[in-house]
Amino acid sequence: MALRFGVEEEYFVVDPGSRSVVPRAGDVVRRAAETLGERASTELISFLAEAKTSPCDDLDKMTEQIRAMRAAMAGAAADEGVRLAATGSPVLGELTPAPISAGARYADSLATYRGLDDEQCICSCHVHVEMPDRAKAVRVSNHLRPWLPTLLAMAANSPYWAGRDTGHACWRAMSWARWPVAGPPPYFESLAHYEHLVGTLLGCGALMDTATIFWDVRPSERLPTLEVRLGDVALTADEAALFAALVRALVQVCLSAVEAGDPGPNPTPEVLRAAYWLAARDGLAGTGVDVLTGRPASFRELAGGLVDHAAPALRDHGDLDRVTEGLRALADRGTGAERQRAAYRGRGLLSDVVDLALLTPGEHDG
């Protein structure tokens, strides 16, 4: 049986003239809620608006949901006289200190995390995959860890930050890595091990609450899902859907391994950290490392291995051909980061980069 899955996306609110980020997310979300209800929401920083799909079990349905969700958000932004851009980091704008959204919880966050909140301007894609229970979710997390750098490289869409090229394909991951509980999760021996570690982090104040567990894979505290939250927001709806379908298939294969009693691999943390950095620096076009063997390998080669590993579930879902072709197309035209830089090279204008990423009421592949 196919696991249900859902997607959360964050977008930057930008001024249509300057293309700089503007703190108008509250206005956009209030307008979008007329169509999306609670599936539209604000985030910590008022430059960001978030939207969520409903859970479903089919790639075609997910693609249509993401297209419709983006169209609704884009329409709401247009009605408010602003636009939304799907980039993992802000291309243009004055960012520091970032404007914090209203609310007691956001005020508590600022008091706890201080300067980290001042610079927390990143837009992600989170994929939720249905899980039978939290114990299995934690063990699936172990199996996912070796594949996380490759997923990060495939989703790279954040090379620019406030008017400069960072030299990285995914600067969002570099910004995110400064938080006390972020990046690849540890290897967990059991659910009890996970809960003990979380309790320790809560007790010492490194976590404000369980919603601030920012590992790139985590059991959801609110939903019966495992949340894979390491990707930049995708430039297009179709790419977002294909990425989510690949994550769902990978999770399903890992769940089968867990149910067969496989404890999962435990790559060396230092090698996994290095693989993350290589993925963030160069994206899919770069060379990374196979974290299980220590062998250097191109991320395109590693991506092919990831699809091969997920193929049994992709085949069961009827998604293998589409995901394989989607990966081939991504390699041919480049990740979002590569296409952002190509847009800049055209006329040397960062406004063209923002324009590439703008959501429209008629969202289509770019």
Domain boundaries, the chain: 5-345
Share of the chain above pLDDT 70, in %: 99
Phi, psi angle pair for 229, to nearest 5°: -130, 30
What does the pLDDT average to over 145-159? 98
Whole-number Cα distances in Å, 313 to 55, 302, 319: 18, 18, 8
Question: pLDDT tens-digit profile of 309-335?
Answer: 999 999 999 999 999 999 999 999 999
Q: At CA 308, angle to CA 9 and CA 245, rounded to 5?
A: 25
Distance CA 215, CA 148 (A): 11
Q: Which of 74, 83, 98 is nearest to 14 (CA)?
A: 83
> Residue by residue, what is the 3-state secondary structure of 183-230?
ECCCCCCCHHHHHHHHHHHHHHCCCCCHHHCEECEEECCCCCEEEEEE
Q: Which of 308, 242, 206 is nearest to 66 (CA)?
A: 242
365 has pLDDT over 80: no
Question: pLDDT tens-digit profile of 228-287?
Answer: 999 999 999 999 999 999 999 999 999 999 999 999 999 999 999 999 999 999 999 999
Band of pLDDT at residue 106, cut at 50, 70 and 90:
confident
- pLDDT the model gives residue 2: 86
CATH of domain 5-345: 3.30.590.20
- pLDDT the model gives residue 300: 96
Reply yes or no: is the peptide bond before residue 97 cis, omega within 30 of 0: yes
- pLDDT the model gives residue 362: 62
Distance CA 227, CA 243 (A): 14
Band of pLDDT at residue 105, cut at 50, 70 and 90:
confident
| Residue located via tokens 């291995």 | 305
- pTM for this structure? 0.96
- pLDDT the model gives residue 257: 98
Question: pLDDT tens-digit profile of 85-94?
Answer: 999 999 999 8
Question: pLDDT tens-digit profile of 8-45?
Answer: 999 999 999 999 999 999 999 999 999 999 999 998 88
Average pLDDT value for the chain: 95
**Pair 210, 105: CB distance under 8 Å:** no
Written as six digits, the tokens of 129 are: 């995959």
